[in-house]
Amino acid sequence: MVSCLRRLVETESPSHDKAALDHLGQYLAEEFAKIGGRIKFHKQEHAGNHLQVDFRGPGKPVLLLGHMDTVWDLGTLASMPFRVASGRAFGPGGFDMKAGIVQAIYAIRALREPVERLPRAITVLLVTDEEIGSQSSLQITGALATKSAAVLVLEPAQGPQGALKTSRKGVGGYHVKVQGQEAHSGLDPDKGASAVLELARQLLVIEKFADRKRGVTVNPGVVRGGTRTNVVAGEAAVEVDARVSRLKDIAYLDKKFRSLKAFDKRCKVEVSGGIGRPPLERSKQVAELFTLAQRLAGKLGWKLEEASVGGGSDGNFTAALGIPTLDGLGAVGEGAHARHESVVIAEMPRRAALLARLVESIPG
Ligand SMILES: [Zn+2]
């Protein structure tokens, strides 16, 4: 598993480098073909080609979902090489989430032994743009998820105990722009309508959209406006980070933002944006899937935990489509997107074993 991980880490694959991603995709396709997978590339003009691998077997497939892109630029290996120390494997993109891909390969291998026949159909989808918002892969992910009995996401586990992620917040942003009327602050103060003052009043309204109990937060993090102290400001704008815990609050929050109206009739308020990644809710389906995973982990001799996290993954989309989704089945380690990114090697086999057990045990 370590040498396979080494190969994947040493094939660098930043989200914006199509050639590098296609190179890694080709290598992965060969590895999956060796264990009986049927390869299909979803060719992209600008993004890297997304890799789909189908394994024949009875029943509805289980979708193993991951990404092969990383946040690390080409050449990062020079200063942050793949290395093993104190039971950990270091290197760019190993934890997030190339080790998860390795575990998937080994889980499928194990399931094929000794008769080279799988207990059920499996689809693997490895996208190339998860770290930059999944624009070009979203439709493919959705279409494959809808055909599947469940989605198992190969993203890193949470914390040193390797908890699965059964709830993630939905994340997005709003841009509110105010158009005022410029005027000389000394000669014609009454002819002007200050966009800055109007925006200040809007901010006090926006603040009230937050609802802690419902898990709705808004943060007007960046404000811009005006040009000179002696000019009544003609323009002002705010960028707001917005997060929700429940699907239905996407519409609630959107309605609030879209209903913003200017206090001063001479000003105009424009709103754009929205919640781009829906929340992964701990629905009944998610809870049932976790209970199954916990039982299977118990048989392998460990107590599997669950966690709720603030960030999102492609699992948020599949869960929002109503497909049972379990996230965080990938590697145990630490430092995603950080230079000390590392994987606990001893955890890899049993997580591959859990993945294999889940694939054969999920009903449907
Ligand atoms: Zn990731």
68 CA to centre of ligand 1 in angstroms? 9
Query: What pLDDT, on a 0 to 100 scale, did the predictor assign at position 335?
Result: 93
Reduced DSSP (H G I as helix, E B as strand, rest coil) percent helix, strand, coil of the chain, to 5: 35, 30, 35
- Taking 80 as the threshold, does the pLDDT of residue 81 lie above it? yes
Residue 362's closest CA among 299, 291, 302, 298? 291
64 CA to centre of ligand 1 in angstroms? 14
310 CA to centre of ligand 1 in angstroms? 14
313 CA to centre of ligand 1 in angstroms? 7
Query: What pLDDT, on a 0 to 100 scale, did the predictor assign at position 310?
Result: 79
Question: What pTM value is reported for the model?
Answer: 0.85
Query: What pLDDT, on a 0 to 100 scale, did the predictor assign at position 249?
Result: 95
- Taking 80 as the threshold, does the pLDDT of residue 311 lie above it? no
Kindly provide the residue ranges of all beta strands, DSSP E only, lying in 191-249, ordered along the sequence. Answer: 217-225, 231-232, 235-244
130 CA to centre of ligand 1 in angstroms? 7
pLDDT band at 111 (very low <50, low <70, confident <90, very high): very high
Query: What pLDDT, on a 0 to 100 scale, did the predictor assign at position 312?
Result: 82
131 CA to centre of ligand 1 in angstroms? 7
155 CA to centre of ligand 1 in angstroms? 5
253 CA to centre of ligand 1 in angstroms? 27
What does the alpha-carbon distance between residue 196 and residue 211 come to, in Å, rounded to a whole number? 26
- Taking 90 as the threshold, does the pLDDT of residue 20 lie above it? yes
**Average pLDDT for 82-89:** 98
- Taking 80 as the threshold, does the pLDDT of residue 31 lie above it? yes
pLDDT band at 309 (very low <50, low <70, confident <90, very high): confident
- Taking 80 as the threshold, does the pLDDT of residue 345 lie above it? yes
232: left (phi over 0), alpha (psi -120 to 50) or beta: beta
pLDDT band at 364 (very low <50, low <70, confident <90, very high): confident
What's the pLDDT tens digit per position in 147-170? Answer: 999 999 999 999 999 999 999 999
Can you read off the two tokens belonging to residue 330?
């990938």
pLDDT averaged over the chain? Answer: 96
Q: With pLDDT > 90 as the criterion, what percentage of the chain qualifies? A: 94
331 CA to centre of ligand 1 in angstroms? 11
- At 242 the three-state DSSP class reads strand
Radius of gyration of the chain, Cα coordinates, nearest whole angstrom: 24
Query: What pLDDT, on a 0 to 100 scale, did the predictor assign at position 128?
Result: 98
258 CA to centre of ligand 1 in angstroms? 32
Q: With pLDDT > 70 as the criterion, what percentage of the chain qualifies? A: 100
What does the alpha-carbon distance between residue 253 and residue 242 come to, in Å, rounded to a whole number? 9
183-184 and 164-168 strand pairing: unpaired
Tokens 């049972």, located at residue: 324
Query: What pLDDT, on a 0 to 100 scale, did the predictor assign at position 148?
Result: 98
CA separation, residue 194 to residues 120, 294, 295 (Å): 65, 59, 62
Query: What pLDDT, on a 0 to 100 scale, did the predictor assign at position 209?
Result: 97
Query: What pLDDT, on a 0 to 100 scale, did the predictor assign at position 59?
Result: 95
12 CA to centre of ligand 1 in angstroms? 15
Query: What pLDDT, on a 0 to 100 scale, did the predictor assign at position 276?
Result: 86
What's the pLDDT tens digit per position in 164-177? Answer: 999 999 989 999 99
104 CA to centre of ligand 1 in angstroms? 15
Query: What pLDDT, on a 0 to 100 scale, did the predictor assign at position 277?
Result: 87
On whether the CB atoms of residues 64 and 124 are closer than 8 A, the answer is yes
- Taking 80 as the threshold, does the pLDDT of residue 98 lie above it? yes
What does the alpha-carbon distance between residue 106 and residue 128 come to, in Å, rounded to a whole number? 21
- Taking 90 as the threshold, does the pLDDT of residue 133 lie above it? no
Query: What pLDDT, on a 0 to 100 scale, did the predictor assign at position 38?
Result: 98
Residue-wise DSSP of 274-323 = EEEE--B---HHHHHHHHHHHHHHHHTT----EEEESS--HHHHHHHTT-
Q: Which of 19-23, 126-130, 185-189, 205-209 has the lowest mean pLDDT?
A: 185-189
On whether the CB atoms of residues 47 and 58 are closer than 8 A, the answer is no
Kindly provide the residue ranges of all beta strands, DSSP E only, lying in 43-95, ordered along the sequence. Answer: 50-55, 62-67, 83-85, 88-90
DSSP run (H or E) holding 343: strand 342-344
Alpha helix positions (H), the chain? 2-10, 18-34, 99-112, 138-146, 195-207, 248-258, 284-299, 314-320, 348-361
